[in-house]
Amino acid sequence: MPSFLYTAMDGKTGKEVKGKIDAVNEELAAVDLKKKDLFPTSIKPANKPQKPGAKKGAKKSGKGGGFDIMNMSLGPKVIKRKELTVITRQLAILLDAGLPLIRSLRTLERQTKDPNSKIVLGETADLVEAGSTFSEALAQHPKTFDKLYLNMVRAGEAAGAMENMLNRLALFLEKAARIAGKVKSAMIYPVVVLVIALVITSGLLIFIVPNFAKTFDDLLEGAPLPRITVFILQISDILQHRIYLVLIAIAVIVILYKLAMKNDYGRWGIHWVYYNMPLFGPIISKTAISRFSQTLGTLMGSGVPVLNALIIVRETSGNEVVASAVQKVHDAVKEGEGIAVPLNATGVFPAMVISMIEVGEETGKLPEMLAKVSDTYEEEVDNAVGALTSMIEPLMIVGLAVIVGTIVIGMFAPMITIIEKLG
């Protein structure tokens, strides 16, 4: 006789119970449960028989859980960050309205149009129905739910306030996405201008400069050219006839960069350059400080122990310079020190951040103070992006004018000698 896993409400105690029952089909299983004063909210086969030729993992009808055969071959599914933020917010609203977790997950599974989200939500609901905790079910998708997400969910489970924790998570994800969007918007303009400058310069060197070279050969009859002209003609020749050297150089740089990023010291060195580079460095450093403050404050405010919170902050910092500093702070806190003094010793964070954290430790309101630091530096990122945008435009125009002007001067300098000779 087939067996079924069920989730039901106990009519006597009003509590949710889970178990296993033998019955001919789901309808009779529901009838048997009602006879025991149990009102089922979910009944599913314990060992669903497969039809001949059916592949394991085929999607179940009517449930939305399980796998799609086509998607199964593409590896584990990942929910995009933007979609995850929306799902987290909606799940918090459903739980706050009093819906059980499984029903909330199934509701979101039906509503979402993203196939990856549908699969992940379905699998999560299946695992919760089978007896796993919510955090254990989420841990099966590490590429979607990172350690920060999982630890906050665990804290919510321990405190019995999952909807409040999910609201915190949603706010965190929304704020992180807002900061990331500001940084990306700051990078788009200079990249576009740089690409246009490269296209214009390459066009001049490949199509215009060679015509001048032929003119110089015909009219100057071997007379020496100015150094700037020789330099420009050599670059033009490389782009015309030795472009493979340029491609090889680019490939070598990309390979060296990737090898460095796989090495701890190399990655730290590259991130240090990012952190301290002109123009973009202030934006990167302020973003890192805002992320550090926001993550640590959210975790500590959610009841995560400080040492665990520091480990999570280190692993989710996204910058090796900050991660290294957080590791030093973690080691010092482990020995019984506070956060402010070792953080100051790293030399990575500004004095204002250190003083605010110190005040937070003294008053016992460190999570609130970290939230203020995060808000302050989010505004700083806004100001830095605005300053960069206003500064980068004239700099790019001047840079492009210098490049084109150099080519023009290099090409017209020999024309003076030609005019004198013709005269």
Q: Taking the chain (423 residues) in consecutive chunks of 10 residues, what is each chunk's mean pLDDT? A: 76 72 74 74 65 39 38 61 88 86 89 89 89 87 85 79 82 82 77 84 86 78 80 88 88 92 88 85 86 86 84 83 90 88 88 90 88 86 79 81 86 79 67
Domain boundaries, given as residue ranges, for the chain = 1-49, 81-173, 180-423
Supply φ then ψ for residue 78, to 5 degrees.
-125, 130
CA-nearest of 317, 287, 289, 301 to 368 is 301
The type of residue at 214 is K
* Residue given tokens 């584990």 in the structure block: 76
Q: What values do phi and psi take at 263, rounded to 5?
A: -105, 140
CATH of domain 180-423: 1.20.81.30
pLDDT given at position 256: 93
For residues 328 and 342, what is the distance between their CA atoms, to the nearest angstrom? 7
pLDDT at 50: 42
Looking at residue 73, its pLDDT comes to 36
Residue 392 is predicted with a pLDDT of: 78
Q: What is the CATH number of domain 81-173?
A: 1.20.81.30
Query: What digits encode the pLDDT tens for the residues 213-268?
Result: 887 777 776 677 888 888 888 888 888 888 888 899 999 999 999 998 888 888 89
Is residue 153 within 8 A of residue 92, CB to CB? The reply is: no
3-state secondary structure the chain: CCEEEEEEEECCCCCEEEEEEECCCHHHHHHHHHHCCEEEEEEEECCCCCCCCCCCCCCCCCCCCCCCHHHHCCCCCCCCHHHHHHHHHHHHHHHHCCCCHHHHHHHHHHHCCCHHHHHHHHHHHHHHHCCCCHHHHHCCCCCCCCHHHHHHHHHHHHHCCHHHHHHHHHHHHHHHHHHHHHHHHHHHHHHHHHHHHHHHHHHHHHHHHHHHHHHHHHHHCCCCCCHHHHHHHHHHHHHHHCHHHHHHHHHHHHHHHHHHHHCHHHHHHHHHHHHHCCCCHHHHHHHHHHHHHHHHHHHHHCCCCHHHHHHHHHHHCCCHHHHHHHHHHHHHHHCCCCCHHHHHHHCCCCHHHHHHHHHHHHHCCHHHHHHHHHHHHHHHHHHHHHHHHHHHHHHHHHHHHHHHHHHHHHHHHHHHHHHHHHC
Query: What pLDDT is attached to residue 255?
Result: 94
pTM, two decimals, is 0.63
Structure tokens of 55? 């592949």
